[in-house]
Structure 1
């Protein structure tokens, strides 16, 4: 074989090796950059289940614990369903009967009072999600793990909206006192509530809503909080 033929043969081998190296390098670069190698699609099983976990959305639930024998709030006796005054009092005593060792906010007590509400109001309470914090008053009560005692007085000189055979309005004054488990005592919920009640068939009278006016707080006293639930609409 002549020298020229040997030289030409070596040149051909170098070109062939260069082509192979370029192809290998290209595949390596694609894989190193995180790009999917399309050749892998041929081995993929389109019927195979996804490896990603599935999550079911859950509705938020009230965080408050139910009251038990260690709670300080006095149980509310079952009212006579034919007496709108008794039903309104029972609702107020439950909805404002906070125990901060159990309740994370006023809404927990409101949910304990669902039995006194009309079906429409009860649904509104269950669907309600407080959008703001509980306030400085609740923070003070919670610091002392306080519970409430309530003095509920009906307005003898009724000047509220007139009633009908199936609806009635009652005005009550609520004067609450907070009692800390550490011996501290301070003001609790203090308000005026105009309560609307309606007859809910055989179930008797039920609370259909209320207009609440917080009482004035003496200077230097701890601000008092009131329910902001759908059943208790602040007065305007």
Structure 2
């Protein structure tokens, strides 16, 4: 059974297609995953969570984290903000700025942590633009060995 349109790993906004990312670069993988997870399109997504499920389909995540995202369902329906965006048939564009913390663990050959300020700006198809939404995201990446692909194992946001 094919995935519904809202859950396909099709980039929207300014998300990069998975095959254009250098998977041996932890920054590039972290940037790609966060951009996809915050790129929403209210004309095809039923809620912001659909973007995380799309990211789970890319191969950029560990299987355990991808499975968690695919099976987790939010307890609440989208709120007033999503409804406002939907009334304008909005999609988001995402910008990321590294916000490295001196206290973060040092990279090893098989683990890296990245910290980003994520800003998602909704743009309506009726030329409406809302205030951006901003979050701080901590990304844990792992890989089997030097030179192999980095995979996102966890994303924590505040």
TM-score normalised by the chain length of structure 2: 0.83
Q: Write the distance in 2 (CA, Å) between the matches of 1:180 and 1:122.
A: 30
Counterpart pick for 2:48 among 106, 110, 117: 106
What is the Cα-based RMSD across aligned positions, in Å?
Answer: 2.4
Q: Aligned residue for 2:151?
A: 206
1:76 aligns with 2:16: yes
Counterpart pick for 2:29 among 63, 87, 104: 87
Q: Write the distance in 1 (CA, Å) between the matches of 2:62 and 2:75.
A: 24
Counterpart pick for 2:74 among 130, 133, 146: 130
Distance 1:73 1:106, change over 3 A: same
Distance 1:79 1:99, change over 3 A: same
Deviation of 1:73 (Å): 1.5
Distance 1:65 1:122, change over 3 A: closer
Q: Write the distance in 2 (CA, Å) between the matches of 1:65 and 1:205.
A: 23
Deviation of 1:63 (Å): 7.6
Q: 1:149-172: per-residue Cα shift (whole Å, max 9, x none)?
A: 111111255432344321110000
Partner SS state of residue 175, structure 1: strand
Distance 1:170 1:109, change over 3 A: same
Partner SS state of residue 113, structure 1: helix
More helix by share: 1
Deviation of 1:75 (Å): 4.3
Deviation of 1:80 (Å): 0.6
Q: Write the distance in 2 (CA, Å) between the matches of 1:67 and 1:90.
A: 12
Distance 1:164 1:65, change over 3 A: closer
TM-score normalised by the chain length of structure 1: 0.58
Deviation of 1:106 (Å): 1.4
Contact 2:14 2:94 in 1 (8 A): no
1:177 aligns with 2:121: yes
Give the unaligned 5+ runs of structure 2. Answer: none
Q: How many residues align?
A: 151
Q: Aligned residue for 1:197?
A: 141
The structure whose Rg is larger is 1
Deviation of 1:62 (Å): 6.4
Q: Aligned residue for 2:91?
A: 147
Give the unaligned 5+ runs of structure 1. Answer: 1-60, 214-236
